Each structure stands twice: as C-alpha cells, then as structure tokens.
Chain A
Amino acid sequence: GESVGLHLPTLSVQEGDNSIINCAYSNSASDYFIWYKQESGKGPQFIIDIRSNMDKRQGQRVTVLLNKTVKHLSLQIAATQPGDSAVYFCAENIGPNYGGSQGNLIFGKGTKLSVKP
C-alpha cells in the first residue's frame, strides 16, 4: 500500500508487506527533515532523519527518501510488523538552526499506519 501524502491520513497494510508513507513539505529552504512515530498514549519517537544534502538514508528496516525538486519526503518500512502500527509524522526544520537544534520543527499532519496480522 502507498499513502498519497498528508491528504490520506490512514494507511492499512498486511503484516510482512512494505509500507510507504509520503509527506509533502512546505519550505524549499528547509535543510533538515525528521520522521517520528507516535504510539497511542505516548510521545513522538524519533525514527530517522535526513539533511538536505542527501537524497536517501537507511536505518534498521526504514529508509527515508528526499526529493527536493518536488519537496517530497517518504518513509519506507520494510517487512511491516504489528508493532509498527502508529501515527507517523514528518517534520521539517525551517527556522534559524540554533546550534543544530531541531527547535523550530514544523510537523506534518501525520499518517496513521495500521498493520493487519
């Protein structure tokens, strides 16, 4: 399954399939992007980040792709598991980068990922 972006807030996938969550960011001057995962009743948890001088970064079972031409960010989750069920947020850093902090993060609306066993 593939999310077509923030306008589709839910994504349902079968356990074991790959998931792709998309995000359109707003500011061409943004130089740092982050994906967060938020489980019910918990705070957002950092997954992976990428700087604007890169177009791909891989972590454990996750890959983030950045297309600056169309201001698009995606999160790919390989072999999706029930524990991946959560709301996923992309965020961009568009403000003054105070010493490398992510303080001026602008969060997207979030996509809810549901994994069917």
Chain B
Amino acid sequence: DTAVSQTPKYLVTQMGNDKSIKCEQNLGHDTMYWYKQDSKKFLKIMFSYNNKELIINETVPNRFSPKSPDKAHLNLHINSLELGDSAVYFCASSQVARPNSPLHFGNGTRLTVT
C-alpha cells in the first residue's frame, strides 16, 4: 500500500565503497525526484526524472548517478562514498500533468559513511 517506497531504510558503509538506494512509486506518477536532507534538516533537490528522462540535475558530484529503468522506479547509485555523503536521502514523485499536484515523499534512507 506504500505509495513511495525506498530501500534500504538504513545504510551504514565505509568510505570509498559504492552503494545504491532503490525507489519505487505505485501512484502512476510521471516524475520522480531525489532529495538530500542534511543533519540540520535542510532539504535540497538532487535530481528529477520525467518519464525516465532527466530534467533536473542540481550541482551534485558525478559520483552520484540516478537511473530510471521505468517511470515507476528511480534508483540512486553512489560511487566512492565520502564522509560528507552522510545524510537522509528522500525519493519523491509527482503527477506532472496535474496542476497543484503535491510531491509524495518516501520515508527516507539514512546513509551513514564511516
């Protein structure tokens, strides 16, 4: 029943490793996003995909690579993890075609890099 689900919920790893976070939405939305929330609760958009096409790519290190196999999925792969990557990563989706369509967020993946 979960509208936007992301896995894993917690991810603890060492510097230099490569990890992925998966996201799926069952709302039939056309657009999916990745947001990063730092320790001060500040939320910042990283990427946005519409129908598997990248439409927003904020200033994010190229170690971060989103992949959208279909419009219901948007995964985030991170190479060579650094301490500063520790944060909570949120996936979200929205129905682009509808005006005033809210973003639906997943419950986040807390990434800790040691």
- Give the interface of A toward B (CB within 8 A): 32, 34, 38, 41-46, 49, 51, 87, 89, 91, 95, 98-105, 107, 109-110
Partner of B96, one of A34, A100, A104: A100
Partner of A107, one of B42, B55, B99: B42
Partner of B107, one of A41, A91, A105: A41
Is B59 an interface residue, CB under 8 A from the partner? no
Closest Cβ–Cβ distance, residue B47 to chain A (whole Å): 9
B residues less than 8 Å from A104 (CB atoms) = 45, 48, 56
Pair B55/A98 contact, Cβ less than 8 Å: yes
Pair B50/A98 contact, Cβ less than 8 Å: yes
Pair A87/B41 contact, Cβ less than 8 Å: yes
CA distance A51 to B56 in the complex (A): 22
Partner of A45, one of B50, B55, B105, B108: B105
B residues less than 8 Å from A98 (CB atoms) = 31, 48, 50, 55, 96
With A43-B107, A43-B108, A44-B90 in contact, do A100 and B101 touch (Cβ < 8 Å)?
yes
Closest Cβ–Cβ distance, residue A8 to chain B (whole Å): 14
Pair A109/B107 contact, Cβ less than 8 Å: no
Look across to chain A and name the residue whose beta carbon is closest to the beta carbon of B108.
Answer: A43
Is B66 an interface residue, CB under 8 A from the partner? no
With A43-B92, A44-B90 in contact, do A51 and B100 touch (Cβ < 8 Å)?
yes
Is B27 an interface residue, CB under 8 A from the partner? no
Pair A99/B102 contact, Cβ less than 8 Å: no
Known interface pairs A44-B90, A101-B101, A105-B45; 6 further A-B residue pairs with C-beta atoms within 8 A, sorted by A's residue number: A98-B48, A98-B50, A98-B96, A100-B100, A101-B50, A102-B94
